[in-house]
């Protein structure tokens, strides 16, 4: 598959869902079915898209098609989950309307724009952080002989995302489900630099267990985020560096199994209500064991809320909420005193108390911090 626009005067190639041949393309059927076109890339395919507009695609759980693809709540317009496919997407505009923008496990994605998606890019990289570095050319296997570093082959195609932008993540009420969507979902160790996001009612960047190098993740940013700028659901193994988040309710939220997460150098947070909201799984109180856990923030900048910012909710800005640890379940820094279990920003997160599980030791229970 190859689509390309060579000069500005040439009309843009558009790949879109169509169910009417009339000139005004009203798409009554797609609106009724809540789904559009799907572009699925097989594991042995070669796809090169340059300057192409992808529109009216994907689906959500309200559609008949997505209803059969559970547990997915939303399906992307463009999907490639194999690692042998050679994919290059550069300078494209993606407007899904009904689902996620792009989901991929390998490929090169440069200078693309995603507008009004469920989630803009869902990257599930398979390569390790000490794997082969990508080629500088947009096609991963061209001119490999001119480089000393290993080239990407059909068997180990890396995932590289540079200078992409995601705008206006859609409100969940308009999509018929309540899943947490974001600008970017990152798993594994992709090369990810110079990417940006603007306008999300929920989350900016979603991570699980973070284990990536500073040479692979840098110069990324996000702003105008309604709830969480960057979320870590699992832990932080290697330092999180060179990330800028501003105009956000909670800049960094963690729900961590690792004992020594490090943020910085180069973390920049501004115009937030809470900078860090962090919790650990601690040692087992029934066994009377103790384990040191430390949240480290190194060579980073935190700037408080602007008085002129009428978008953000009123109240005093807090740089770091006191991190606490629970046992046998996740915990979260408390905002107010109250029973254990409940909302992810208040008290101990999860159902520990209602299920009768071991409670955290008293010194770790802090209220009104």
* Nearest alpha-carbon partner for 285 in 194, 364, 369: 364
The answer to whether residue 154 sits within a structural domain is yes
pLDDT in tens, 298-325: 999 998 766 666 555 556 678 888 787 7
**Count of residues making up the chain:** 369
The answer to whether residue 369 sits within a structural domain is no
Residue 25, pLDDT > 80, answer no
Handedness of CA 104, 10, 167, 252 (dihedral sign): positive
Stronger pLDDT, 249 or 218, i.e. the higher one: 218
Residue 13 is predicted with a pLDDT of: 84
pLDDT in tens, 138-176: 333 333 223 333 333 334 578 999 999 999 987 655 444
Q: Comparing 19-23, 236-240, 289-293, 333-337, which segment has the lowest mean pLDDT?
A: 333-337
The answer to whether residue 286 sits within a structural domain is no
d(CA 234, CA 211): 11
pLDDT in tens, 47-80: 999 999 998 888 876 676 666 666 667 889 999 9
The answer to whether residue 219 sits within a structural domain is no
Residue 314 is predicted with a pLDDT of: 58
- In this structure, what token pair is assigned to residue 9? 């005067």
d(CA 52, CA 93): 6
pLDDT category at 21 given cuts 50, 70, 90 is: low
Please count the structural domains in the chain: 1
d(CA 9, CA 48): 20
Tell me the pLDDT of the chain averaged across its residues: 75
For every residue of 295-356, DSSP letters joined together read -EE-S-EEE---TT--SSPSS--EEEPPPEEESSS-----SS---SSB-TTSSS-BSTTTTT
Average pLDDT rounded to a whole number, residues 233-239:
91
The answer to whether residue 42 sits within a structural domain is yes
Look up tokens 């995302």; give the residue.
161
Tell me which residue range forms the domain holding 44.
2-201
Residue 354, pLDDT > 70, answer no
Look up tokens 């989350």; give the residue.
203
Residue 24 is predicted with a pLDDT of: 57
* Nearest alpha-carbon partner for 309 in 267, 252, 270: 270
Residue 347, pLDDT > 80, answer no
The answer to whether residue 327 sits within a structural domain is no
The answer to whether residue 135 sits within a structural domain is yes
The answer to whether residue 332 sits within a structural domain is no
Stronger pLDDT, 293 or 341, i.e. the higher one: 293
Residue 75 is predicted with a pLDDT of: 85
């Amino acid at each position: 598959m190859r689509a390309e626009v060579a000069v500005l005067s040439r009309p843009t190639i558009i790949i879109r869902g169509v169910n009417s041949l009339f000139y005004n393309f009203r798409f009554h059927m797609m609106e009724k079915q809540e789904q559009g076109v799907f572009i699925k890339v097989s594991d042995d395919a070669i796809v090169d898209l340059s300057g192409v507009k992808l529109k009216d695609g994907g689906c959500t759980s309200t559609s008949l098609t997505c209803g059969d693809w559970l547990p997915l709540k939303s399906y992307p317009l463009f999907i490639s989950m194999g690692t042998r496919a050679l994919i290059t997407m550069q300078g494209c505009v993606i407007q899904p309307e009904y689902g996620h923008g792009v989901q991929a496990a390998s490929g090169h994605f440069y200078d693309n724009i995603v507008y009004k998606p469920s989630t803009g890019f869902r990257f599930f990289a398979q390569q390790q952080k000490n794997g082969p570095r990508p080629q500088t050319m947009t096609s991963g296997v061209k001119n490999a002989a001119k480089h000393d570093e290993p080239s990407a082959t059909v068997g180990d195609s890396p995932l590289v995302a540079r200078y992409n932008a995601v705008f206006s993540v859609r409100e969940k009420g308009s999509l018929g489900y309540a899943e947490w969507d974001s600008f970017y979902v990152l798993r594994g160790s992709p090369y990810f630099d110079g990417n940006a996001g603007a306008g999300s009612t929920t989350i900016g960047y979603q991570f699980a267990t973070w284990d990536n190098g500073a040479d692979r993740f840098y110069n990324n940013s996000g702003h105008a985020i309604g709830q969480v700028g960057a979320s870590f659901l699992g832990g932080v193994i290697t330092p999180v560096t060179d990330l800028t988040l501003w105009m956000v309710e909670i800049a960094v939220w963690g729900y961590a199994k690792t004992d020594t997460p490090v943020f910085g150098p180069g973390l920049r947070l501004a115009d937030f209500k809470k900078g860090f909201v962090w919790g650990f799984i601690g040692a087992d109180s029934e066994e009377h064991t103790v384990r040191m856990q430390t949240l480290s923030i190194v060579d980073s900048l935190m700037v408080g809320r602007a008085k002129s910012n009428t978008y953000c909710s009123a109240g005093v800005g807090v740089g770091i909420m006191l991190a606490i640890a629970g046992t046998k379940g996740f915990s979260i820094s408390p905002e107010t005193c109250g029973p254990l279990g409940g909302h992810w920003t208040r008290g101990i997160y999860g159902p520990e108390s209602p299920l009768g599980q071991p409670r955290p030791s008293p010194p770790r229970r802090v209220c009104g911090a």
